[in-house]
Chain A
Amino acid sequence: MTRTLRNALLGAAFGLALTAGSAGAATIKVGVVAPFSGPYGVVGKSFREAIEIYQAEHGKTVGNDTVEFIYKDLDQANPAQSKALSQELIVKEKVSFLAGYFFTPDALAVAPLIDEANIPCVIFNAATSAITEKSPRYVRTSFTLWQNTVPLAEYMAKQGIKKAVSAVSDYGPGIDGETAFKTTFEKHGGTVVDTIRMPMKSNDFAPFMQRIKDSGAEAVYAFLPAGPTTLAFAKAFSDTGLKAAGIKFFGPGDLTQEPDLPALGDAALGITTTFNYSRAHDSAKNKAFVAKHKEMFGSTDTVTFTSVGAYDGVHVIYQMIKNGGGKIDGAKAVESVKGMSWESPRGPLTIDPDSRHVTQTIYLRTVEKVDGKLENVEKEAFPNQPDYGYKLGK
């Protein structure tokens, strides 16, 4: 408590000193809307930690201007409140950028606002492909279900799997995943024998396991939002004997996100996923990122995909400020980062000029024990994967 207070006071003092010192300097504000409390509170925590790491590494100033982050708590998917909070940030706080957004509906809700106020919105997570179609001022530094699923389905077909079943949570991203899987897997000669859509609020997964078993599939493609349901699903998979029966388990990496791995325990071993980031990614940049996290926050338990989503998002915002020389014009700022490439802790990234979504390397990982700790160990890399879902649906 006292430390936070001291930091805040120091920050305020520095801010005052800076404004007093140079006449041309200004404070550029970035509003971050994300869940900081509630069931998804760990997401907001990872956003904030990543932002603080980036600022510790690259400084709080760009040119003469200080970059300040303002956090707004949106504890669950709630588009109306997302819009209200974002509007408050624009009108009252006079932010130059909006950022964050964990859930798809929350991100979609601000499209009219950012167009009217001409403000760029950098999405740190929300992963439905259609979002960036809704406004030219969206830039996204996370991933989409299409992006993760297409290489996975191709890999499964290459492994000689002929019959597969898909089991997804019955909501937007789940259906994106199901469509992406079915289209790609069948294009490569496989058959999807059953598509199961599971209610969001399921507690008991035994009936779905029985259905998977009865379908006679050799492998299952599963997607559920990270959290308690994923845990119950993965447990049911190993407890009901499907794992022992030799059915292979594939899915996007949300299933085995790092903060959940300790709770999943050995039930997670052998789950194969594709994703854009693993805490165990072997690169100098990632090692430095993880080490800095440990140094600043004492543990690396919360480092996961949302961390790099935010870290790279801040990088894009800094670049937009640099490109504009301190003057922010929303449309021009987005224009200036189209095609931008850089090296992130997760690997090389490029912002696709059309979809304004990052083209990146997708990794194939298997959950294994590394020094007694469960990690997503990367097995293969599929470089330069775009968002296959952009302008495809609806």
Chain B
Amino acid sequence: METMFGIAVDGVAYGMILFIISVGLSVTLGLMRVVNLAHGAFAMVGGYVASYAAQTAGLPYGVALVVAVALTVLATLPLERLLYRRIYGSANELAQVLLTIGLTFVIVAGINYLFGPTLKRIPLPELLTGTVELGPKAIPTHRAFVIGAGAATLLGLWWLLERTDFGIRLRAAVDDPAMAAALGIRTERLYLATFALGTGLAALGGVLGAELLPLEPYYAIRYIVLFLAVVAVGGAGSIFGSAAAALALGIVDTAGKYLIPNFGEFFFYVALILILFRWPHGFFKGRTA
């Protein structure tokens, strides 16, 4: 019983971290239909900015987090205007893959040149170190914080996409850009704002997830499969789908590693195959935001 509880708690914690680092991709891939393989690179840029702000400039953790998200968004907006705008639309999938993977290589090389190949860290404040007791099980305080942040992000996004004007216009613009434009919706601005939202979430995930996925220049390539898996299982564009997928994969992976570690990543990929076999478009395709 205690083992089951332990697996459940660790699984949910891992799942929430997977959610928070993948949800940005769910926004760009799902809502804007851009296969953004540079998502990991944006997350990494956010992490490096936070690391620099906290370690070299000496800012507190919270401020570093905000600065990282803001700077990453600012730095990537010109990319939207210059590059991404040209590849919107599902007819351009090959161009999207080529452009974004190329962008990833450029960012990897740039980070390697500027910050060197060694691991970087984002120092945690006193408040987030140590452990929290949950009955018989102790989990790191930082992870509890990430679970909270993940839940808040989930609700915030749901509200933004389902309950606001912005959300309605965005969904209209995605479903039928020509008709939306004809109705007077300024689709270009809307896409810019959504792109900013996606990269902001990527940066947020990069910073919050840095304890689990340490920052180094190959972060961008090393973990992209993980992000894509979560979005594929969740159903592109579905925020709740991403959360459900991240939690399911997190729990399966944790249980597999605890019970039969020799099987390695086997259970993660078996779960991936079975889920996609049953729901080829992911859990929540087209049902909710």
Enumerate chain A interface residues (CB-CB to B < 8 A): 38-39, 41-42, 45, 170, 196-204, 206-208, 210-211, 214, 227-228, 231-232, 235, 239-241, 244, 259-260, 262-263, 265, 301
Contacts and interface: CB of A to CB of B under 8 A. Distances in A.
Nearest to A38: B218
B112 A41 contact: yes
Contact of A39 (B213, B216, B262): B216
A200 B222 CA distance: 12
Contacts of B226: 203
A147 B244 CA distance: 47
Nearest to A37: B112
A186 to B, nearest CB: 21
Contacts of B217: 39
A292 to B, nearest CB: 21
B14 interface: yes
Contact of A260 (B119, B213, B264): B119
Contact of B118 (A42, A170, A240, A265): A42
B257 A208 contact: yes
A171 to B, nearest CB: 11
B79 interface: no
Contact of B261 (A42, A208, A244): A208
B214 A263 contact: yes
Among A214, A240, A265, residue most surrounded by chain B Cβ atoms (within 10 Å): A240
B212 to A, nearest CB: 6
A351 to B, nearest CB: 32
Interface stretch (B2-10, B31-39, B168-176, B281-289): B2-10
Contact of B117 (A39, A196, A201): A39
Contact of A239 (B7, B112, B140, B254): B140
Contacts of A210: 3, 6-7, 10, 258
24 contacts: A38-B218, A39-B117, A39-B218, A42-B117, A197-B262, A203-B223, A203-B226, A204-B212, A210-B10, A210-B258, A228-B214, A228-B216, A228-B222, A231-B214, A232-B212, A235-B211, A239-B131, A239-B211, A240-B139, A259-B118, A259-B119, A262-B118, A263-B214, A265-B123
B7 to A, nearest CB: 7
A300 to B, nearest CB: 13
A341 B74 CA distance: 60
Given A39-B117, A207-B254, A265-B123, A197 B261 contact: yes
Given A206-B10, A240-B131, A263 B212 contact: no
B230 to A, nearest CB: 13
A244 B211 contact: no
Contacts, number: 101
A246 to B, nearest CB: 14
B118 A301 contact: yes
Given A203-B212, A203-B226, A204-B253, A260 B258 contact: no
Nearest to B121: A263
A239 B121 contact: no
A234 to B, nearest CB: 11
Contacts of B212: 203-204, 232
Contact of A204 (B14, B131, B216, B264): B14
Which 7 residue pairs across A and B have the least CB separation, nearest first?
Answer: A199-B264, A239-B140, A263-B119, A207-B258, A207-B257, A206-B10, A241-B138
A41 B117 contact: yes
B140 A231 contact: no
Contacts of B123: 265
Nearest to B143: A239
A198 B214 contact: no
B142 A239 contact: yes
A199 B263 CA distance: 8
B261 A211 contact: yes
A39 B214 CA distance: 12
Among B7, B138, B223, residue most surrounded by chain A Cβ atoms (within 10 Å): B138
B118 A206 contact: no
A203 B119 CA distance: 15
Interface in B1-45: 3, 6-7, 10, 13-14, 17
B264 to A, nearest CB: 3
B284 to A, nearest CB: 24
B52 to A, nearest CB: 14
Nearest to A40: B117
A198 to B, nearest CB: 6
Contacts of A199: 257, 261, 264-265
Contacts of B250: 204
B64 to A, nearest CB: 16
Among A196, A204, A260, residue most surrounded by chain B Cβ atoms (within 10 Å): A204
A144 B209 CA distance: 34
A244 B213 CA distance: 23
A263 B120 contact: yes
A310 B183 CA distance: 69
Interface in B232-289: 250, 253-255, 257-258, 261-262, 264-265
B101 to A, nearest CB: 16
Nearest to B209: A203
Contacts of B17: 204
